[in-house]
């Protein structure tokens, strides 16, 4: 059988993570960016019909987002719910914010994860930006943008791990 997979990047972080991926390393993978109105994307989160079309017929969907903002947090739950309802195998790989982004953002992220778990259950892979950076001493001196670059790579590696 010709397995098909799709990565759906949701929100700003989801979009950046998807754009940073190397398709040559991802096998038979399609990439879609979902974001809110006014943001550059393939599908808008409020276009429910388009969202269903994106999910339809795919063997496995990987939802990717940064937690703690609005679009990625709410959107990943919404997409997971639709995908599960359609009987599609659905994983979510999400990133928890840095501590310095504030308590409010972290709480929103944790709340989002609890909600997401309702839809994807154990198929949830969480990468803590804070833990990742503090576990690698060489990261300390890197600028913010490079940290995101490293985390984006980590998300890609997680998905590759899930594929094999
Ligand atoms: N890995 C990675 N994480 C990011 C990036 N940009 C933002 N983040 C993280 O993702 C979290 C959510 O940010 P965004 O994705 O920009 O937020 P959003 O989902 O678009 O939400 P709204 O814009 O508020 O609707 C942030 O708090 C950061 O921790 C990125 O390029 N890569
Ligand atoms: Mg955004």
Domain borders along the chain are: 5-163
pLDDT, residue 45, reads 97
- Give yes or no for residue 156 CB within 6 A of ligand 1: no
- Give yes or no for residue 41 CB within 6 A of ligand 1: no
pLDDT, residue 30, reads 96
The sign one gets for the Cα dihedral 14, 43, 30, 5 is positive
Best probe residue, ligand 1, of 9, 39, 63, 66 (max atoms within 8 Å of C-beta): 66
Please give the helix or strand (H or E) that residue 89 lies within, else none.
strand 89-96
Please give the span between the terminal C-alpha atoms of the chain, in angstroms, as a whole number.
16
What is the pTM (predicted TM-score) of this model? 0.96
- Give yes or no for residue 72 CB within 6 A of ligand 1: yes
pLDDT, residue 75, reads 98
Task: Single out the residue of 5, 150, 10, 163 nearest to residue 74, CA to CA.
Answer: 10
Contacts of 31 (CB under 8 A, 6+ apart): 6, 7, 9, 18, 21, 23
Q: What is the pLDDT along the chain (164 residues), one digit of tens a residue?
A: 456 899 999 999 999 999 999 999 999 999 999 999 999 999 999 999 999 999 988 889 999 999 999 999 999 999 999 999 999 999 999 999 999 999 999 999 999 999 999 999 999 999 999 999 888 888 888 898 899 999 999 999 999 999 97
The architecture (CATH level 2) of 5-163 comes to 3-Layer(aba) Sandwich (3.40)
């Amino acid at each position: 059988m010709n397995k098909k997979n799709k990565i759906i990047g949701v929100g700003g972080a989801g979009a950046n993570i998807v754009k940073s991926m190397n398709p040559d390393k991802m096998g038979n993978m399609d990439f879609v960016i979902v974001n809110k109105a006014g943001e550059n994307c393939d599908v808008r989160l409020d276009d429910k019909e388009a969202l269903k079309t994106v999910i339809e017929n795919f063997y496995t969907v990987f939802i990717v987002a940064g937690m703690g903002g609005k679009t990625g947090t709410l959107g990943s739950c919404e997409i997971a719910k639709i995908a599960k309802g359609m009987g599609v195998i659905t994983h979510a790989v999400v990133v928890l914010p840095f501590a310095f982004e504030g308590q409010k953002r972290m709480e929103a992220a944790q709340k989002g994860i609890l909600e997401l778990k309702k839809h994807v259950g154990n198929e949830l892979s969480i990468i803590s930006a804070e833990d990742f950076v503090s576990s690698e001493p060489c990261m300390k001196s890197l600028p913010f943008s490079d940290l995101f670059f490293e985390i984006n790579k980590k998300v890609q590696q997680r998905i590759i791990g899930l594929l094999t």
